[in-house]
Amino acid sequence: MSEFHDLAELALNRAGQSWGNLGYWKNASDYSDACRALATLLGEQAALDHHSIVFDAGFGCGDQLLLWLEHFGVSQISGVNLSRSQTAHARTLLAGKGQADTSAAIRRGDVNDPAIWKAALDGTKPSHVLALDCTYHFPDRLAFWGLAEQHLAPAGRLVLTDFMLDARHRTKGFRHRLLCWMLKRAHIAETNIVNEEIYRDQLVQAGYGEIIILDISEYVMPAFSAGSDRKLTWPVRCKYAVTSRFLKWAYRRSILRYCLVSATKVGGSDRRY
C-alpha cells in the first residue's frame, strides 16, 4: 500500500542528502541547503545544546536527527514518524553514521497515539519537543500539543514550524473554498489552519506560555523550489510544481503565513490525552 509521506523528496536532494521540508531560502538556492537552513533555524530558536533531551515528532528521513546530534550536540534523542519508508530510511542513515543506539530510539507510529509516546520516551521527560514542517499534517494538532505538554519536563519547550491563516484572509468566498480544496488534497485538516490569535489561545489552553511566533513566510513560501536542475520523474515534478505555485499564490494573496513557533510548558499538569 502506497504512503502519502514517502521517499519522493530523495529526488530533490543532492547525493547523500534526504531532507524533506519546505526550506528556508534566505541565503540558499539549493533544496538540500534550504531544508538544512530551516532545521538549523528551528534548532537555534529552541536553543538546543549538549544538555538538551529531544523528542522529534515527525523526523522524516532522519537528516534532522543527525543535525540535532552532530551540529547542536544534544545529549539524547527519540522520535516518532508516521511513514514506514521514511522511518526505515532514517534508521539506515543513523546506523551508517555510527548512531545505532539512536536508531533504536526512533519509532514508526502516529504522534496522536498516547501509547507511542510512552513507548518512545520510556519514562524520559524531554526538555524539547520539536516538529519541523509537519504539525499541519497531524490528524489532531491540539491533541499533539496536549501530549507534548504532558510529557515535557517542567519548563520544557515545544518548538515547531507551522502554517497559519493570514489575519487579512476571509473565511468565505472563492479563495477560501479553493484553499480548503487544496488542504484536503494535501492531507491537511482544515481545523489545523487558524489565524495567529486563535493559534496563541489554543497554545495557552493546552498549557503553554512564553509564546513566540515569528513570521518567516517571505523566506519560505514564495521561494520554495523543487530544483529545476534535478532529473525528476513527471509525477514528482508535477507534485512539487503544484506545491510551489500554491505557496506563491497563498502568500501573495495574503491567505497563509508560515511561522516559527516556540512555547514553554507552564507549571505541572494532570491532563491525560
Domain presence at residue 1:
no
Confidence band (pLDDT; 50, 70, 90) for 109?
Answer: very high
Task: Say if residue 93's pLDDT is above 70.
Answer: yes
Residue type, 102: T
Asked if residues 148 and 158 have their Cβ atoms less than 8 Å apart, the reply is yes
Q: Is 164 helix (H, G, I), strand (E, B) or coil?
A: strand
Q: Is 165 helix (H, G, I), strand (E, B) or coil?
A: strand
Range of the domain at 197: 8-265
Asked if residues 204 and 145 have their Cβ atoms less than 8 Å apart, the reply is no
Predicted confidence at residue 101, as pLDDT, reads: 77
d(CA 172, CA 108): 38
Asked if residues 80 and 103 have their Cβ atoms less than 8 Å apart, the reply is no
Q: How far is CA 14 from the centre of its chain?
A: 21
Q: How far is CA 45 from the centre of its chain?
A: 14
The mean pLDDT value of the chain amounts to: 91
Domain presence at residue 236:
yes
pLDDT in tens, 22-44: 999 999 989 999 999 999 999 99
Whose cell is 515547531? That residue is 160
Task: Say if residue 270's pLDDT is above 80.
Answer: no
Average pLDDT over residues 137-141: 94
Average pLDDT over residues 14-28: 95
CATH code, 206 = 3.40.50.150
Asked if residues 90 and 61 have their Cβ atoms less than 8 Å apart, the reply is yes
Domain presence at residue 173:
yes
Predicted confidence at residue 271, as pLDDT, reads: 46
Q: Is the dihedral of CA 4, 196, 224, 37 positive or negative?
A: negative
Predicted confidence at residue 273, as pLDDT, reads: 38
Predicted confidence at residue 7, as pLDDT, reads: 83
Domain presence at residue 2:
no
Pairing of strands 128-131, 208-215: unpaired
pLDDT in tens, 179-188: 999 999 888 9
What are the CA-CA distances from residue 37 to residues 21, 61, 184, 206 (Å)? 10, 16, 28, 29
Domain presence at residue 271:
no
Phi, psi of 55 (to 5 degrees): -115, 120
d(CA 29, CA 18): 16
Predicted confidence at residue 233, as pLDDT, reads: 75
Task: Say if residue 269's pLDDT is above 70.
Answer: no
Burial 97-113 (b: 16+ CB within 10 A, else e): eebeebbebbbbbebbe
DSSP 183-216: HHHTT--GGG--BHHHHHHHHHHTTEEEEEEEE-
Average pLDDT over residues 210-238: 82
Domain presence at residue 38:
yes
Predicted confidence at residue 230, as pLDDT, reads: 58
Of 59-73, 98-112, 162-176, the least confident: 98-112
Predicted confidence at residue 2, as pLDDT, reads: 61
Phi, psi of 242 (to 5 degrees): -65, -45
Residue type, 1: M
**Alpha-carbon radius of gyration of the chain:** 18
Domain count, the chain: 1
Burial (0-12, 13-18, 19+ Cβ within 10 Å), 222: middle
Residue type, 222: P
How many other CB atoms sit within 10 Å of the CB of residue 45?
A: 18
Of 150-154, 157-161, 186-190, 199-203, the least confident: 186-190
Q: What is the pTM of this model?
A: 0.93
Domain presence at residue 39:
yes
Domain presence at residue 254:
yes
